[in-house]
Amino acid sequence: MDPSESAGERLQKVLAQAGHGSRREIERWISEGRISVNGQPASLGLRVSSKDKISVDGKIIRLFEKTARTQVIALNKPEGVICTANDPQGRPTAESLLPNKDGVRWIGIGRLDINTSGLLLFTNNGDLAHQLMHPSFQIDREYAVRIFGDVNAEILARLRSGVEVDGESYAFEDVVRGNGRGANRWYYCVVRQGRNREIRKVWESQGLQVSRLIRSRFANVMLPRDLKPGRHFEVKGVMLDDLYRLVNFQGRRSQ
């Protein structure tokens, strides 16, 4: 929606559509008192129009006259790269590997930890990011995992039915054997929540060691075998349309 025509829209929705963050992020900023409208602290549920003056951390936000074309970027994140915007230790960030033009603010769709490589999606549309991360849509996340140790049929059955780790229940939607011989072998497993270190915790609960972890798919977007670490591509056409359908997103299709 054109923010200039969004009279009566909720503040977090207007800012998310303009690419200033996901709705969840913006709701947190409102609760922390970082956003003001017409000089007054904003509240959750506040509705605004293009006539209102919106500030974040004291800086006025200028909403675009026209909504930018929704874009989705797929990055092959290397190991050793972190998913936070800034790092006090000076480690490389995923955001630094993305195209930087026309003032686009990329919003990460989930995260990968520093020792996990593979597919990581970004978008300039906060609403789309919010929907793809929302647990109600049950979006598949597939990982290729190299396991050191003996994996038998009983273990695979437990991984599918569920295990308990630190008082929480975890289960793979699916897990199948891949390539490899002996003590090192690849497996492909699917989860739908993307909880912190979930894959590693599940395998390690069985006395096994994860020696490598790569996200190979998010929703319908696959990690191309020829996409080198640190490189990216834009999700377009039918692939983008199918991604929209998974979360009932009404967006402007890439050209």
Share of the chain above pLDDT 90, in %: 58
What pLDDT is attached to residue 5? 42
Q: Is 76 exposed, middle or buried (0-12, 13-18, 19+ CB in 10 A)?
A: buried
pLDDT of residue 69: 81
- Averaged pLDDT for residues 58-70: 70
Q: What is the pLDDT of residues 170-189, one digit of tens each?
A: 999 999 999 877 678 999 99
> The tokens of 28 are what?
């947190």
- Averaged pLDDT, 107-112: 92
Domains of the chain plus CATH, in order, are 3-60 (3.10.290.10), 72-136+220-246 (3.30.70.580), 140-218 (3.30.2350.10)
What's the pLDDT band for 120 if we cut at 50, 70, 90? very high
Active centre residues (catalytic): 113
pLDDT tens for residues 123-137? 998 889 989 999 899
Q: Is it the case that residue 212 has pLDDT exceeding 90?
A: yes
Residue 22's nearest CA partner among 108, 138, 99 is 108
- Residue ranges of alpha helices (H) inside 97-222 are 126-133, 153-161, 198-204
For residues 33 and 254, the model is more confident at 33
Q: Buried (b) or exposed (e) across 175-184, using 16+ Cβ within 10 A?
A: beeeeeeeee
